[in-house]
Amino acid sequence: MLGFGLIKGLSVTLKNLFSPVFTIQYPDRRVGLLALSKHLDKPISKILTETPKIFLLGLVRMVKIPVKIDQFPRFRGNEFVWYDDRCTACASCAKYCPLGIIEIVTHPGGENMQAGENYAIDKFDIDTGRCMFCGLCVEACPYDALHMGTDFERGNYERVNLVLDKETLISQNKNPSSWFRPQFEENEYNPWEKDLNNPKEAGRHEKPSYQNIKNKWVSKRKLDG
Amino acid sequence: MFEFIYDILQFFLHILITDFKYENFLLTLLSGIIIAFAVINAVLGGVLALIWGERRLLGRFQQRSGPNRWGPQGILTSTADAVKVMFKEDIIPEEADKYIFNLAPLLLVVPVFIIFSVIPFGIGLYAVNINVSVLFILAVTSISGLSIICAAWASANRIAIFSALRSVAMLISYEIPVGLSLVGILLITESMSVMDIVNFHNMPFILIQPVAAVVFFLGSLAEINRTPFDLTEAESELAAGYQNDYSGMKWGLFYLGEFAAAIAAASVFSTLFLGGPNGPILPGIFWLTIKVVAVLFLIIWIRATWPRFRIDQVLNLAWKGLFELTLVNIVVTSIAVIIWPDGESNRMIYIALANWIFVFPFLFIIFRLLKTKNYDDNDIKKVTYPVGSDKPKFEKAGN
């Protein structure tokens, strides 16, 4: 019947009106009192007595609570994670970097002269302002010391602040991405849930044996025909 | 409302001074200013709320949340926009006709505010009572076409001219069905005053004149340039249409005028067809507000759903569809009014039944006739451009 299509279209949009929104509020969202008491884990009466100003804002749904967005574990942010205990200052990353933005200065003589630890690191700077996050440095690292990071909230007003120096890399919380680090995925490590400050927990990327590779690829190819 | 304010002012004036030569003139002026101030501010507040409500509702219709940052639920967004618009740079194009260019926004805004002077906000709560107020509304609304063509002509912009020509063609076409759709009501009430129509009967006229209500609603959508008749500002074709060269507060006035026109159209529709401030329990002004908000919701709902007409489809609908419908409506209503004249028992029910039985089917018959032809694949012609020739060559496809 003519005219029925118009009403059908109206009913579709009306259904959309009462369905939940897809928008994810970021970096914070406005909530009312119920969601606020759930967030703070406090009853509403306690919010009223302790912080009446926030209670009033909550009445009109204007309290901001921060929102953290979960990404996939392989997500690459605009930072790097570096374990100084593992780094031997071999400078493989600096050599592989196509932009030459990793600057390493060393002097001979580590504190304990074990194998592979012959150099002490004076300077380890990564200029993320010029980085294109290709990940070649992470692929090149033979000791799994450098990882892609997952933090993406590193916007800055000055280019100088974008340079990650040695102190920042050591002191910051480490949430390495599992990009090119299959051991993280084997251990089911999720950077969005916990930090990984201790390198001993991080595990090493072991080179698969010839038999493993054969099992994984050759036999699969046979099955595929 | 006028007499009430006049009496209060007279009381206070007599406290100060008893014998004043121009007392009547001064009191009339002052009470007029007070009423105008109240009505215009109410409409401005309504416009701010409507802009916010429309953006928010459109967001929800599209399953996103809309503006929700500034103020509770984002209600101050439009206020912040208004402040921003005031501080923006006011640019007048070099080749523009400056006087007309400056006049056009005012020509759009002022008539919209004038419409509110004849609308009863409550029982006995109105600014002026003219005995031909329906005609007054129809006359005042058609000034907006002049404003649009002034703006387009003065800004010396061909895209604006396209927009204005479309708008004026649409306005001229839709004036006629809108005007004629009200004839049925005028025949039944035997009066051209909005107050008489509101006070006429408890039954809203949408039940007595269903087709007239549909025609009037579609026509008013076209007159205020809303979806599905928003060819004037078809963004994909004409950018902002006649507003292309306007900036700052002049553009703000256009924006204000459009949304105030939406409120005006909704309030005229609810006054004439939904019974205006009549309703049980609550005071009249609440009932009018509820009805206006409902009509505005319908307008926004339609904007969220229906696609835009082409210009030929718009004019076809006006001249081949709505115009005939109003003529049928007038004929049936006048016969019904002759058969059941004023004073008959159950008069309104009989007239309503006659309208529903004899006019309502025409809605479907005429829309059926207007249906676009479905073309076969064989009818579609293949266009080729032969080498060395300017003229395209048409071939029948599918063979």
Q: What is the pLDDT of residues A9-26, one digit of tens each?
A: 889 899 988 888 888 888
Which residues of chain A have a CB within 8 Å of the CB of B306?
6, 9
Alpha-carbon distance A162 to nearest alpha carbon in chain B (angstroms) = 30
| Pair A63, A161 in one domain | no
pLDDT of B399 reads: 46
pLDDT band at A113 (very low <50, low <70, confident <90, very high): low
| Pair A100, A143 in one domain | yes
CB distance A60–B304 less than 8 Å?
no
Which residues of chain B have a CB within 8 Å of the CB of A16?
60-63
CB distance B371–A2 less than 8 Å?
yes
Alpha-carbon distance B271 to nearest alpha carbon in chain A (angstroms) = 25
Range of the domain at B201: 88-372
| Pair A89, A199 in one domain | yes
d(CA B259, CA B105): 13
| Pair A95, A182 in one domain | yes
Q: Is A180 inside a domain boundary?
A: yes
Q: Is B64 inside a domain boundary?
A: no
CB distance A10–B64 less than 8 Å?
no
Between chain A and chain B, how many beta carbons pairs sit less than 8 Å apart?
48
Q: Is B294 inside a domain boundary?
A: yes
Q: Look up residue B109 and give its two tokens.
A: 């805004």
Q: Is B58 inside a domain boundary?
A: no
d(CA B123, CA A141): 83
Question: pTM for the full model?
Answer: 0.78
Mutate which: A1, A8, A30, A67, vs B, most B CBs within 10 A: A30
- Write the CA distances from B318 to A129, B134, B204, B324, B366, integer angstroms: 61, 21, 25, 9, 11
- Count structural domains, chain A: 2
| Pair A65, A85 in one domain | no
**Average pLDDT of span A27-41:** 84
Mutate which: A7, A8, A16, vs B, most B CBs within 10 A: A16
Q: Is the peptide bond before A27 cis (omega within 30 degrees of 0)?
A: yes
Query: Which of B57, B64, B71 shows the shortest C-beta gap to A22?
Result: B64
Query: Which of A3, A19, A61 shows the shortest C-beta gap to B73?
Result: A61
pLDDT of B297 reads: 93
d(CA B285, CA B265): 17
Which residues of chain A have a CB within 8 Å of the CB of B71?
62
Q: What is the ipTM of this complex?
A: 0.73
| Pair A30, A106 in one domain | no
Q: Is B248 inside a domain boundary?
A: yes
Please, are residues B350 and B207 in contact by the beta-carbon 8 Å criterion? no
Query: Which of A2, A16, A25 shows the shortest C-beta gap to B61?
Result: A16
Query: Which of B60, B367, B368 shows the shortest C-beta gap to A21?
Result: B60
Q: Is A213 inside a domain boundary?
A: no
Q: Is A218 inside a domain boundary?
A: no
pLDDT in tens, A52-96: 888 888 888 888 888 888 788 888 888 899 988 888 888 888 999
Mutate which: B54, B55, B57, B61, vs A, most A CBs within 10 A: B61
DSSP assignments along B88-115, one per residue? S-----TTS-HHHHHHHHHHHHHHHHHH
| Pair A86, A58 in one domain | no
CB distance A1–B62 less than 8 Å?
no
| Pair A115, A187 in one domain | yes
Alpha helices in chain A (DSSP H): 4-17, 33-40, 44-50, 52-59, 92-96, 136-140, 166-171, 182-186, 199-202, 210-213, 219-224
| Pair A55, A125 in one domain | no
d(CA B236, CA B150): 23
Alpha-carbon distance A65 to nearest alpha carbon in chain B (angstroms) = 13
Q: Is B42 inside a domain boundary?
A: no
- Count structural domains, chain B: 1
Distance between the two ends of chain A, CA-based, in angstroms? Answer: 55
pLDDT of B395 reads: 65
Q: Is B100 inside a domain boundary?
A: yes
Range of the domain at A121: 80-207
| Pair A112, A188 in one domain | yes
Query: Which of A3, A13, A60 shows the shortest C-beta gap to B304?
Result: A13
Query: If you average pLDDT over every residue of chain A, what do you get?
Result: 83
Q: Is A150 inside a domain boundary?
A: yes
d(CA B314, CA B168): 12
Please, are residues B108 and B257 in contact by the beta-carbon 8 Å criterion? yes
**Average pLDDT of span A189-213:** 80
Residue B97 neighbours by CB under 8 Å, 6+ apart? B153, B154, B156
Q: Look up residue B13 and give its two tokens.
A: 């004036």
Query: Which of A12, A23, A30 shows the shortest C-beta gap to B64?
Result: A23
CB distance A21–B364 less than 8 Å?
no
Last residue of a domain, one of A36, A69, A102: A69
| Pair A118, A61 in one domain | no
Q: Is A221 inside a domain boundary?
A: no
Q: Is A34 inside a domain boundary?
A: yes
Q: Is A179 inside a domain boundary?
A: yes
| Pair A60, A92 in one domain | no
Across chain B, which has 399 residues, the per-10-residue mean pLDDT values are 76 75 79 85 90 91 87 86 88 85 89 87 78 89 86 86 87 88 87 84 81 89 84 77 85 89 91 83 84 92 86 82 87 86 76 79 74 58 69 62
- pLDDT of residue A148 exceeding 80: yes
CB distance A23–B73 less than 8 Å?
no
pLDDT of B380 reads: 60
CB distance A14–B63 less than 8 Å?
no
CB distance B64–A30 less than 8 Å?
no
Q: Is A222 inside a domain boundary?
A: no
The domain that holds A106 is classified in CATH as 3.30.70.3270
